[in-house]
Copies of this chain bind each other. A is one copy, B any other.
Amino acid sequence: MRELDETDLEILRLLVSDGRRPYNEIADAVNLSPPTVSDRIDRLADLGVIRRFTVDLDRSLLADGVSVLVDLRAEPGRVGDVRAAIEEIEGVEHVFVTAEGRIVFQARLQENAIEPLLDETIDTTAVREYDVSLLVDSTWYPQPRGVEFALECDECGNSVTSEGESARLGGEIYHFCCSSCKSQFEEQYEELQEAV
């Protein structure tokens, strides 16, 4: 494995602006061959930097309920629970969790059913207060602009360099600075699984 370089970021930018851009076009832009571009994209996907290829839809053209922004403050220690409950709600598109335990999410819901739905889905004892606002517009600007790449070893916390390794355990991708951290992590993971 290697750290990401400027070429990877350029590939990401090109894919963000057009996720179906042919590899030979990308290859020309970054002075690589198409197979190499393919390899890099695979690696970016393995690393988890690319979560998925997708389409950006104009949902206002799909009469899909109204778009609302919900702002709520979870009780200390209950943020995870509330967040999980929110994820279960059909129509939720974006969820933001702040460092202070505030959760803001955007969803497309049936207008008359918003409050009952929230009351029903979310444990009210875990939420201090909440506020629902009707949205008139929402836009997404997906251009990545940063340059650096920062990965921390999931075992020891050191930064992951070119000697690092990755592993996929239970659907999640983990990164390690070295093979011993990786094997130690995998061992602990297995023990944990057996205990469950």
Contact = CB atoms under 8 A, between A and B. Distances in A.
B52 A91 contact: no
Interface string A102-123: 1010101000000000000000
A62 interface: yes
B57 A51 contact: yes
Nearest to A65: B146
Contacts of A100: 133-134
Contacts of A49: 57-58, 61-62
Interface in A46-94: 47-59, 61-65, 69, 71, 83, 87, 90-94
Interface residues of A, number: 63
A7 to B, nearest CB: 14
Interface stretch (A16-24, A29-37, A176-184): A16-24
Contacts of A148: 62-64
Interface string A1-15: 000100001001001
A98 B136 contact: yes
A54 B142 contact: yes
B55 A94 contact: no
Nearest to A108: B146
A97 B135 contact: yes
A169 B180 CA distance: 60
Given A53-B55, A54-B15, A55-B53, A96 B137 contact: yes
